[in-house]
Amino acid sequence: MIAYKYRFHGHSSLRYVYSHGKSERSHLLTVKYVINTHRKNPRIAVVVSKKIIKSAVGRNRIRRRLYEYMRLRLSDLNNIYDVVLIASSAELQNMPYSELCSQLDSLLEAAHLVKFDKN
C-alpha cells in the first residue's frame, strides 16, 4: 500500500483537481492531475464508482492494484503533482497486472507525468 503522506482524500481536494486539473483518458481509466507547488510530496487518489462495479470487494481490489502501481512509479514522476486515477471499467479487476502496467505507463506518459527510458 502507498504511504499515507502520498495519499489524499476529501471532497475539497478532489474538487480542486477536478475543476483545475488536466486530464488524459483511455477506455479503462481517466487520469486527472494538477501541479501542486505547496507540497513536498506528490499525492495520489484512486476513485472507483459504484456505477462501475457494485461489489465493495471488487472496488477495493481495483483500488489496491492502482495504488500499488503508483507506489512503484512515485520516483518516476516529473514534478510534484496531485493525481486522481478514476476507474472507468470493471475490466481492471481481473486484468493481468502486466497489461495493467503497460496501459497505465502509456497513459501517464501521454499526460507527461512521467518519462520512461526506452532502453
CA pair distance 97, 119, nearest whole angstrom: 21
Region 55-73: mean pLDDT is 94
Q: What is the structure's pLDDT at 117? A: 65
CA pair distance 106, 112, nearest whole angstrom: 10
Residue 69 sits in which domain range?
4-110
Q: For the chain, what is the mean pLDDT?
A: 91
CA pair distance 74, 40, nearest whole angstrom: 13
Region 80-96: mean pLDDT is 93
Query: Is 118 contained in some domain?
Result: no
Give the position of cell 518519462.
Answer: 115
β-strand partners of 44? 7, 83
Q: How many structural domains comprise the chain?
A: 1
82, 36 contact by CB (below 8 A): yes
Query: Is 115 contained in some domain?
Result: no
pTM: 0.90
